């Protein structure tokens, strides 16, 4: 069932439904890929940060940033929010 349908079901009046859409997040896998690209492009895997310099704010998102948003959505602070997707992309989708 689509997220928006779940959020409107009358049979579950206190169930809130969210989608969380994070961008590339600094994980071991993502850093390994960036290091491989840096090795191919520059001959130096230590230059991996250059491979992500075009990201919003010049960096990857941090796992803790994603976790904080999920915790906030599950908290009373977002008690009246449901049926939405939170894009954690640093504004990348709005770049021209």
Over residues 18-68, the pLDDT tens digits come to 999 998 999 999 999 999 999 999 999 999 999 999 999 999 999 999 999
Residue 67 confidence (pLDDT): 97
- C-alpha distances out from residue 5 to 13, 74, 80, 95, Å: 13, 19, 16, 30
User: Under a CB-based contact definition with an 8 Å cutoff, are residues 33 and 24 in contact?
Assistant: no
Please state, in angstroms and rounded to a whole number, the distance separating the CA atoms of residues 68 and 63.
9
Given a contact cutoff of 8 angstroms between Cβ atoms, the answer to whether 73 and 18 are in contact is yes
Q: Is this model's pTM higher than 0.85 or not?
A: no
């Amino acid at each position: 069932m689509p997220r928006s349908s779940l959020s409107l079901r009358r049979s579950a009046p206190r169930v809130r439904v969210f989608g969380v859409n994070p961008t590339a997040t600094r994980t071991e896998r993502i850093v390994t890929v960036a290091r491989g690209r840096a090795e191919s492009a520059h001959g130096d895997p230590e230059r991996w940060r250059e491979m992500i310099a075009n990201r919003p704010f010049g960096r990857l998102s941090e796992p803790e940033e994603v976790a904080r948003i999920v915790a906030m959505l599950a908290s009373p602070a977002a008690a009246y929010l449901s049926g939405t997707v939170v894009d954690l992309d640093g504004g990348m989708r709005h770049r021209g």
